Amino acid sequence: MGKNRALKGKTIDKNREADKKIKKIEEEIKNKIDVLKTQRSGVLCYPFFLGGISMSPSLVDDIYEDIRDKCKDCDGRLDVILDSGGGDIDSAYNLALLLQRVGHRELNFIIPRWAKSAATLLACSGNCILMSPVAELGPVDPQITELNPLEGRLEQFSPLHIDSTLDLIRSEFENGNEKLAKGLLERLQFPLTLGSFRKSLDIGRQYLIRLLSSRMYPSPEDSQKVKEIANRLTEGYADHGFCIKIEEAKAIGLKVKELTGNELDIVWEIHKLNKERRKIEKQKEEEKVMDMIRNLPPGLIDKLPQDIQKKLRSIISEE
């Protein structure tokens, strides 16, 4: 009991220290954002830092609250520094329309490193995307996560994989491997919902067409180009993780510019500070979780499998 109290005191001290460091980093980030604003002719800059947090309907409420507060003095020109791995595509579309409303004169997205999946859709709502030399966009094919009831494991796939699976079965039939093809067909899960999964590609495409034709390519003459970009981003890549760098983004027709000079220096500094902040946050979290583990009632720990009990005890005794 005494040891636990001492450890708790140690954790509180470490947390205070971590909070101080985080505060200092956040102040530095805020200063860099102000410098960027001056550098970019006074355009208001909104930091959209999600890291590993995914966009979802309830996050829309929180971001809306935050934007109402931070962007109330916006003159209709808005830069958004975007760092996100994506999330729910409907929420991304909702946020895209919100940001377009705030940046009604001009909306630009600045990508230091990542704007993947639904975050790419968000970036496509701007007039222009400004990318660092290592910034990545990604395909917008929705990811479907399902629990495979036969094997009790989680499976994540793209609707595009449905086509490749059906192609594989078809080719086995055509090559005379009927038994193998039938076996594969029997293993298909949720056959009735496969069609609706496949159809979900259309949602991303429709959102992309709407967003691209509202800012990047508003002229009706560009409607074919918009469709081509939307098709490419939803169905044109073999894998959801495909790395779309600036050259590829330009090649598919997106309006992108490479960050250079002072702007690149500032944006990259912001990215590095963000990374440092995340590292300290993680260390703080590890302390918190160790505290939570120590406070688990013995009954709950005893119900855990032997190997986890052993592992936990060895971690706690190492402290």
Partner 1 sequence: MNYISLNKLSLELAERLLLKNGELSIQDIKGIPFLHDERDAETIFFLLKNKYQAEVYYRKISVSELPYWDEIIKLKKNE
Q: Which residues bind partner 1 (CB under 8 A)?
A: 19, 22-23, 26-27, 29-30, 47-54, 56, 58-59, 62-63, 66, 70, 145, 147, 154, 277, 281-282, 285-290, 292-293, 295-297, 300-301, 303-305, 307-308, 311-312, 315
Q: What distance in Å separates the CA atoms of residue 272 and residue 268, rounded to the nearest whole number? A: 6
In angstroms, what is the minimal distance from the CB of 117 to partner 1? 12
Output the smallest distance, CB 78 to partner 1, in A: 15
Of residues 156 and 206, the one with the C-beta less far from partner 1: 156
Q: Report the nearest approach of partner 1 to the CB of residue 317 (Å).
A: 13
CA atoms within 13 A on the CB side of 73: 5
Quick one: 2 or 297, whose CB is closer to partner 1?
Answer: 297
Please tell me the distance from the alpha carbon of residue 308 to that of residue 156, in angstroms, as a whole number.
27
Nearest to partner 1 of 25, 254 (CB atom): 25
Nearer to partner 1 among residue 252 and residue 290 (C-beta): 290
Chain centroid to CA 316: how far? 34
Cβ contact 40:263 at 8 Å: yes
Distance CA 116, CA 132 (A): 14
Q: C-beta of 71: minimal distance to partner 1 in Å?
A: 12
Coil, helix or strand at residue 213: coil
Other beta carbons within 10 Å of 217 = 19
Q: Assess contact for 91 and 56: CB atoms under 8 A.
A: yes
Closer CB to partner 1, 176 or 297, in the complex: 297
Query: Would you say 151 or 221 has its CB closer to partner 1?
Result: 151
CB 50, min distance to partner 1, A: 7
The C-alpha angle with vertex 93 and arms to 112 and 251, in degrees rounded to 5, equals 50
Cβ contact 34:66 at 8 Å: no
**Tokens 């109290």 identify what position?**
5
Least distance between partner 1 and beta carbon 146 (Å): 10
Mark out the alpha helices in 1-136 (DSSP H runs): 2-39, 57-70, 89-102, 118-123
Q: How far is the CB of 235 from partner 1 (least distance, A)?
A: 24
Spatial distance between the Cα atoms of 102 and 36, rounded to a whole number of angstroms: 19
Nearer to partner 1, 50 or 129 (CB): 50
